[in-house]
Amino acid sequence: MSEGGRRFEVVVPHDGSGMRLDAFLATREDLRLSRARVAGLIKKGAVLLNGAECKPASKVRVGDVVSMVIPPLEEPRVSPEPIPVEIVYEDDDVLVVNKPRGMVTHPGAGVSSGTLVNALLFHASGLSGIGGVTRPGIVHRLDKNTSGLLV
């Protein structure tokens, strides 16, 4: 099990008996983790079932002890890229850009460059951190194949 991060341990109660381990942990309100994130942690060995490594599909029983270390999410840094974008309006507080069809809005699974965020970081300074490291200034998004204005 990896070091660092938030530690969590639970004894499986009656209502959890027979559930898949990933589903059991994903239903825990005190964890607030998606089933996919839990499955990934299990596969990395960050989750132990009765002290042993396990699989996401492992069934839990009453009295089983599940322990895990939840590492902090590490968001990749996004680099500015000189990608041409149509800026419709810009002042000190707002930037309106016309996102073309076929352009990904922000980096994600399998896409780390060539996004609207990469372009905006090159063309504009002082983007708000409201959307996090990979979505600076962007609160919502348009799908890759959808064009339209983003503020």
Residue whose token pair is 């660092």: 4
98 near 73, Cβ under 8 Å? Answer: no
CA–CA gap between residue 52 and residue 62 (Å, rounded): 16
Catalytic residue selected from 15, 22, 30, 143: 143
Return the CA Rg of the chain.
21
Q: Is 143 a catalytic residue?
A: yes
Q: Of 55, 57, 64, 66, which is closest to residue 14 (Cα–Cα)? A: 64
**Residues taking part in catalysis:** 143
